[in-house]
Structures are given as structure tokens and as C-alpha cells.
Amino acid sequence: MPKRIVTTSENVSHKKQKTFHWSSGLVQAVQNPELLVLSDDLVYVIKDKYPKSQCHFLIICKKDIGSLSDVKIEDIDLLKHMNEMAEKMKKSNDEYRSFNVGYHAEPSMSRLHLHVISDDMDSSHLKTKKHWNSFTTEFFISSEVVIENLIKNKKVILPSKEECRKFLELPLKCHKCDFKPKNMPDLKKHIVNHC
Ligand code: AMP
Ligand code: ZN
């Protein structure tokens, strides 16, 4: 059944929170009308405040789920809905040629969120090797793979801490060709050739 889409800040709680930790920033961010794009019964869609590409959205679930490691098999329809919302965001932003849709294996921010990110990776906010590798290696797990993983295992099996560390420390490599840059400035100069 189609979910009702709300394009204003309707549905957003304005209750002041007593304690605030930076990692709960996404739960706060949905209250910011400059970031909120839309919401429905199950999710908020916001613009990433520090976009790592020309177009970068986050689909944030309303249910109090911290991250993929807290997802249970009964959340399968929610994950499918988040994926469908990502598809809608891709369609309504089709001036960007292609998008990647996925989760970070070890997110820094709490409340389950799905990245919808155009694949140019051309952004002044993308500064470090960790940023780069978090979107271009197996640290970034596609939404469809997560859904298959949940159906097969009844929970989401994630890479270990050690594997995550290795993904983030991999040598820099262009995500579109075999170019191996010396450093981030070198990579950033190179990727604009693919835009
Ligand atoms: P993750 O590593 O998957 O937890 O990614 C968290 C994402 O949230 C990053 O892409 C950040 O740029 C973004 N972010 C961090 N703080 C905020 C905020 N206050 N509002 C909106 N987006 C944020
Ligand atoms: Zn390249």
C-alpha cells in the first residue's frame, strides 16, 4: 500500500531533548526544515549536511533502530521501504547520472540510515581517505545486499571490526578507473575528469 508522503516538517517532534551527543545528530537533523526533504509514516529523507557527492541524501527510519546490527527479520518490510524511497529519490534527481544506495558497515551516527549518493564523489566535504574508502570499498554495503543478507540469515551479518578497519585503510583508488592516486588532492583532481 503506498505510504502518505508529507513534504513539510509535519510529523516531526519539536520536543527539546535534555541530553545531546553528536552521534544522535541525525535524529535532531530531521527537525531542521533546511535539511528535511520529505517524510512518510516510516522514514524521513534529509539532505546530508556534509554531502560527500554533488547529491547526497539520507533515508532515516522513524523506528528506534540504532544501526544494521539491531535490525531484526521483522524489520524486512521497513528495509524494503527504505530501498523504495531511495529509488524515488534517484528518479526525482535524475539529472545526476548514477547513484549508489547503501549502508556503512560501521556507521558513525546512530538511528538506522541509508545513503543515497550520486557517484561523482565530487564534494569539498570529501576530504580524507576514510571518507573516500567508506563509500568506495566493501565498507559500503548496498541496500539490496543488506536485504538479501537479512532474508537469508534472519539478521544482518556485517564485516568484523578488523575487516572494517582494513577496508578504510585500503590504498586510494579511483572508483571509475584503474588510476591509483598518490594522495587525496591527486584523487580529487582526477575524479572531475569523470564528471
Ligand atoms: P554514517 O557514517 O553512515 O553514520 O554517516 C553519517 C552521515 O551523516 C554522514 O554522511 C554525515 O555527513 C552526515 N551527518 C552528520 N551530522 C549530520 C547532521 N547534523 N545533519 C545531517 N547529516 C549529518
Ligand atoms: Zn578514474
pLDDT in tens, the chain (195 residues): 455 555 444 444 455 545 678 888 999 999 999 999 999 999 999 999 999 999 999 999 999 999 999 999 999 999 999 999 999 999 999 999 899 999 999 999 999 999 999 999 999 999 999 999 999 999 999 999 999 999 999 999 999 999 999 999 999 999 999 999 999 999 999 999 998
Confidence (pLDDT) at 22: 86
pLDDT for 21 equals 85
Can you read off the three cell numbers belonging to residue 135? 563509500
What is the pLDDT at residue 7?
A: 47
Q: Is the CB of 108 under 6 A from ligand 1?
A: yes
32 lines ligand 1 (CB under 6 A): no
Residue 59: CB partners within 8 Å, gap ≥ 6?
Answer: 43, 44, 45, 82, 85, 86, 89, 113, 114, 116
| 115 has catalytic annotation | no
Q: What spacing in Å lies between the alpha carbon of 184 and ligand 2's midpoint?
A: 13
Q: What domains lie within the chain, and their CATH numbers?
A: 25-194 (3.30.428.10)
Structure confidence at residue 9 (pLDDT): 44
Instruction: For the chain, report the end-to-end CA distance as a whole number of angstroms.
Output: 38
Q: Distance between CA 23 and CA 27 in Å, rounded?
A: 9
The answer, yes or no, to whether any atom of ligand 1 lies below 6 A from the CB of 25, is yes
Pocket probe mutation, ligand 1, options 35, 45, 47, 48, max atoms within 8 Å of Cβ: 48
DSSP string, 115-160: EEEETT---TT--SHHHHHHHHSTTEEEHHHHHHHHHHHSB-----
Ligand nearest to the CA of 20: 1
Smallest CA separation from ligand 1 atom 23, residue: 49
pLDDT at residue 19, as a whole number: 66
Please tell me which residue in 56, 104, 113, 115 is annotated as part of the active site: 113
**Rounded to 10 degrees, what is the CA torsion of 121, 77, 2, 48?**
-30
Q: What gap in Å lies between CA 104 and CA 139, rounded to an integer?
A: 6
The predicted structure's pLDDT at residue 114: 98
Pocket lining: 29 vs ligand 1, CB cutoff 6 Å: yes
Q: Do the Cβ atoms of 54 and 120 come closer than 8 Å?
A: yes
* pLDDT score of 10: 45
Whole-number pLDDT of residue 4: 54
Radius of gyration (C-alpha) of the chain in whole angstroms: 17
Instruction: Show the cell assigned to 70.
Output: 539491531
pLDDT of residue 20: 75
